[in-house]
Amino acid sequence: MIDHNLITQQLLGDVDLNFLIASWIIAIVGGTLNAILYSLKGTKDKTNQTPLKWDLWYFLKDNAKRFISGMIILFVYARFGNELMGQTLTLGFAFLIGFFIDWVMVFFYKKFHELKDKFFPSTTNEE
């Protein structure tokens, strides 16, 4: 018989599920604010697919990857942040992750490659 409480405890660790959901909501607010400010600046490339008028469905579809990656980053940070970096997730930090998701993704990408290079150095000679 599968013990769902044990699976949840192993998956979430010491993170409270209500706090995680609240963090996701706050991050969505931050990400939405960033995306709206970015779209209002008009810095996005105008392509044939970009609507002339603001469209909610296009906005959601266009930013879905950012929102989903933000949710994943928040979960990983909430679950492993204390173990890996000695920091716990706060709601303010959740907002900042949502707002600066693009920069956060670049940060984690660089950290991943630093750790990969540290633990799995390249065996090719670069001369």
Domain boundaries, the chain: 4-119
Using CA atoms, how far apart are residues 109 and 91, in angstroms rounded to an integer?
Answer: 23
**Residue 126 banded pLDDT, cuts 50, 70, 90:** low
What's the DSSP call for residue 49? T
Length of the chain counted residue by residue = 127
| Residue 104 or 119, more confident | 119
Does residue 47 surpass a pLDDT of 70? no
The band of 124, judged by pLDDT with boundaries at 50, 70 and 90, is low
Q: Would you state the pLDDT for residue 109?
A: 77
- Give the pLDDT of residue 127: 45
Geometric angle at alpha carbon 79, from 77 and 83, rounded to 5°: 85
Average pLDDT, the chain: 76
As given in the structure block, the two tokens for residue 10 are 């192993």
**Angstrom distance (rounded) from CA 82 to CA 65:** 26
Residue 48: the pLDDT is 61
| Rounded mean pLDDT, 27-52 | 71
DSSP 1-41: ---HHHHHHHHHTT--HHHHHHHHHHHHHHHHHHHHHHHHH
- The pLDDT score that the predictor gives to residue 93 is 83
| pLDDT mean over 49-57 | 71
* Per-residue pLDDT tens over the stretch 85-111: 777 778 888 888 888 877 777 777 788
Dist. CA 127–CA 77, nearest whole Å: 38
